[in-house]
Amino acid sequence: MTRPTPFIFAASAAFCSTLFVPATSGQEGLLTQYEAVSDLHLQNPPPEDWLMWRRTYDLSGHSPLTQISRANAANLALAWQAPLSQGGNMTTPLVHDGVMFIADTGNRLLALDARSGEQLWAYVHESENFDGRRIGVALHGDNVIVPHNDMTMVALNVRTGAVEWTQTIDTPVKDVTGGYYALRSAPVIADGVIVQGVTATAVPQGGFIFGLDLETGAELWRFYTVARPDTPGGETWNDLTLEERSGGSVWIPGSYDADLDLIFFGTAPTYDTAPLLPDLNIAGVSNDALYTNTTLALRPATGELVWHYQHIENDQWDLDWVYERQISELPINGENRKVIFTAGKMALYDVLDAGTGQYLDSLDTGIQNMIAAIDPVTGKKSLESFAIPNAEQGHLLCPYLLGGRNWQSGAYNTASKMLYLPLSEVCMMGGPLGGESSLLSSGVTLDPQPRVDSDGNFGRLQAIDMNDQQLGWTQRYKTPPATAALSTAGDVIFTGFLDQSFKAIDATTGDTLWETALGHLPSSFPITYAVDGVQYVAIIRGQPSRFIGSLYGIIGNFMSENGESLATPSTDPAILVYALQ
């Protein structure tokens, strides 16, 4: 198998200057009528708005809008589009009172008329750090809260784009040669606090989560996601010093339950896997590596850890459990329980009690072949013998390190309790140890391979009935989904694909109702909203993240071996917005 050739996107200049573009006179009324976003708005968003990353605190990615439905989705047409900057990204537009906010690449924040795409104002953060791969921003009061990858948080006035406050986040390690800190995640406003996760890639001491004051940006607390040697969990790092520990990045936003007053985050593993591979046989010392691959339940006002659950310890394959923690009430053994469900790259769901972290159940979508057994009481996962790295031979392991699922979030219809998850059917030849070009310090080989039973379709959209935690319909595609899924009360699912298509899919059958060619790779979180009685659906093209660029190369190589090819992107970055014609 040849090495994948990733799609390379162009990047603009790394140094940006501050820019303010006021609204034209014809647009001032839209900004004047903008109503401040309150805590009540966030807890119960107006149906026409998209106020946070996945619209609601439970991270459902579901809209109650019904104007676009199974019956008429075939009549969708382009309503407007607006140009965006070159560079990798994975952003989520937010919409309130007809105003759209987009964290563009190059440190840009755009405010647009959500009816037409006309620019109201623009802000460019002055930094030598090129901003890309950002998930989004947050709205509260009269401010839009914007994270930047130079570790700066900025609050902008929603009506003018003027800076209200700026806060630079102090990092525990100053020399990060060979690694980096970043604020890729969108902030979460919970209990009056801005809560933000930190990406800490190959940085000693690992990542952290912090809380900021809404009015001033002052830091209120932080929680370190790599356990310190002298704290609970500190004994789980194979006797390594703090400087020898890394990982625990938090680059996906958290969910929040106001009744429990808990915010839930997931964490990534570490790339420095070699020191964690052996069992040292020292009493009181393990190689579990808390708090990697863990659900953390924190008090948003203080950062207090209320409970944690590690989904898989000592991950030697970079198969993160960092993704969305969705919240719902589900029947569990005949009793309604408020639960969290989440799946890592194995596309294997764990269901936990939201109040206590008690393990309740697991659901396997059939992507992975690495787990031999799951303890029905604790949820502890036992690996197949061939899924333990060794120096002698390699094995076909599923999924590939990019995951059966990745940041492309599932959408959850809170009324029907149906979940829709974008999946990739790609495996890897894992091992033996000792390679020089491995992502992981163990040197384990990680070469992408098709599944043994591959029929040339590498993408899947999987429906899951969370009422009984059983798989529903399955639709398979030549190329994997390249965006999150979006669910609507009109029984339509929207998803973008690696073949540069954007599809409307029947939520009850999985059949394609409508599709359009984007002309470039999608790599974002699609949304739907309404203004003046018109429902719109928005998708961003042409800002492929590193993940999408790599997947493009892998799938393109697989297809070329069958005499097929992936289309080359042919258009510029833009946000495209559709409505019924």
Write the pLDDT tens digit of every residue in 264-289. 999 999 999 999 999 999 999 999 99
Tell me: pLDDT of 3 over 50.
no
pLDDT for the residue numbered 436: 67
Specify the DSSP element, H or E, that contains 83.
strand 76-83
Tell me: pLDDT of 41 over 70.
yes
Cα angle at 93 between 303 and 461, to 5 degrees? 90
pLDDT for the residue numbered 22: 55
pLDDT for the residue numbered 73: 98
Q: Rounded CA gap, 476 and 474, in Å?
A: 7
Encode pLDDT of 46-75 as tens digits: 999 999 999 999 999 999 999 999 999 999
Range in 31-45, 117-131, 327-341 the model is least confident about = 117-131
pLDDT for the residue numbered 69: 98
pLDDT for the residue numbered 112: 97
Cis amide linkage into residue 399, ω under 30° from 0:
yes
pLDDT for the residue numbered 7: 44
Encode pLDDT of 368-377 as tens digits: 999 999 999 9
pLDDT for the residue numbered 377: 98
301-306 average pLDDT score: 98
Tell me: pLDDT of 566 over 90.
yes
Range in 177-191, 306-320, 434-448, 526-540 the model is least confident about = 434-448
pLDDT for the residue numbered 29: 82
Q: Rounded CA gap, 495 and 255, in Å?
A: 22
250-273 average pLDDT score: 98
Encode pLDDT of 160-183 as tens digits: 999 999 999 999 999 898 899 999
pLDDT for the residue numbered 432: 85
pLDDT for the residue numbered 132: 81
Tell me: pLDDT of 242 over 90.
yes
Encode pLDDT of 177-231 as tens digits: 889 999 999 999 999 999 999 999 999 999 999 999 999 999 999 999 999 999 9
Tell me: pLDDT of 6 over 90.
no
Helix (H, G, I), strand (E, B) or coil at 547: helix
Encode pLDDT of 89-143 as tens digits: 999 999 999 999 999 999 999 999 999 999 999 999 988 888 788 999 999 999 9
Tell me: pLDDT of 12 over 60.
no
Looking at the domain that runs over 25-580, which CATH code has it been given? 2.140.10.10
pLDDT for the residue numbered 434: 74
101 touches 84 (CB < 8 A): no
Specify the DSSP element, H or E, that contains 382.
strand 381-383
The CA-atom distances, in angstroms, between 455 and each of 100, 452, 479 are 42, 9, 12
pLDDT for the residue numbered 433: 83
Q: What percent of the chain has pLDDT over 70?
A: 95
**If you average pLDDT over every residue of the chain, what do you get?**
94
3-class secondary structure per residue, 258-288? CCCCEEEEECCCCCCCHHHCCCCCCCCCCCC
Which band of pLDDT confidence, cut at 50, 70 and 90, is reported for residue 16?
A: very low
Tell me: pLDDT of 466 over 90.
yes
Q: Rounded CA gap, 42 and 21, in Å?
A: 28
Q: Rounded CA gap, 95 and 112, in Å?
A: 9
Tell me: pLDDT of 540 over 80.
yes
pLDDT for the residue numbered 441: 94
pLDDT for the residue numbered 359: 98
Short-list 343, 341, 339, CA closest to 323: 343
Specify the DSSP element, H or E, that contains 31.
helix 28-32
> What is the chain's alpha carbon radius of gyration, rounded to the nearest angstrom?
22
Which band of pLDDT confidence, cut at 50, 70 and 90, is reported for residue 1?
A: very low
Which band of pLDDT confidence, cut at 50, 70 and 90, is reported for residue 23?
A: low
Q: Rounded CA gap, 488 and 393, in Å?
A: 47
Specify the DSSP element, H or E, that contains 182.
strand 180-182
63 touches 413 (CB < 8 A): no
The CA-atom distances, in angstroms, between 401 and each of 1, 202, 275, 536 are 16, 17, 20, 35
Encode pLDDT of 387-425 as tens digits: 999 888 889 999 999 999 999 999 999 999 999 999 999
- What residue ranges do the domains of the chain occupy? 25-580
